[in-house]
Amino acid sequence: MLEGKKLVLTGVLTKDSIAASVAEQAVKAGAEIVLTSFGRAFRLTERVARGLPGTPDVLELDITDAAHHAALASTLGERWGRVDGVLHAIGFAPEKCLGQPEGLFAAGWEDVSTALQISTYSLKSLAETLAPLMPPGSGIVALDFDAQQVWPAYDWMGVAKAALEATARYLARDLGPQGIRVNLVAAGPLRTMAARSIPGFDAMQVAWGERAPLGWDVRDPEPTAKACVALFSDWFPATTGEIIHVDGGVHAVALANQPAEVAS
């Protein structure tokens, strides 16, 4: 499905990261990949890379550092000459932005601006850096958590995800004339390092399983990864600005699903 395609994947931190599963599925589908990381996480990403087929290179990228962006574009331009797909799997919010008794009122602008810069504006930054290397038919895919509703304890990260969804739609508009697609994959809760930092995650995962018509396994990122691979492929040539839900169907139901009797 991805034979010959060259992908840049952010967000691989541990083997449980959704991005790590995307990397594994992308290589299986025939893609050549590089990962990005920086700072103390760099060695963790390298460790995951050594467990992936072909041991992809890890390139330095602090999403807030303009010099890193320039170096990444230069390196990829020399190495590949083009980029066929980019995974945005970047998110962070300071502690006061999540699960505080005061809700949104707990965090000041300094904390909120950090959450928005890293979790939302970074999609524009990544697109701006790599779009010049992306040919028609290429795609940007960002990981989302459905922001249509309010979730317990998600607070400013929920606001950041809502802004991410809007940013993706506007980027789809701006990059569409170049033939570049921009889409989101909204996954249900998965047991990643990022999820463990969300207060009340355990309660959310139980409720999710009860509501999902298809059921939901918080330990299985593969369905989400496969959706990303499909969006990187040539099988969605006219899809952009879209949110693909990989959540067992929770986004479609208002109350817990009650099994109906099926006539034999």
* Residues catalogued as catalytic: 154, 161
Question: Strands 58-60 and 139-144: what pairing?
Answer: unpaired
- Closest by CA to 15, choosing from 55, 40, 45, is 45
Q: How far from chain centre, in Å, is Cα 217?
A: 18
List Cα–Cα distances, 189 to 143, 150, 199, 247, in angstroms: 12, 14, 13, 8
Q: Which residues pair with 107 in a beta bridge?
A: none
Q: How many CB atoms lie within 10 A of CB 234?
A: 11
| Sheet of strand 243-246: strand arrangement | 58-60, 32-37, 6-9, 85-88, 139-144, 181-187, 243-246
Beta-carbon contacts of 80 under 8 Å, excluding residues fewer than 6 positions away, are 6, 32, 133
Cβ contact 18:143 at 8 Å: yes
Q: State which H helix or E strand residue 74 sits in.
A: helix 66-79
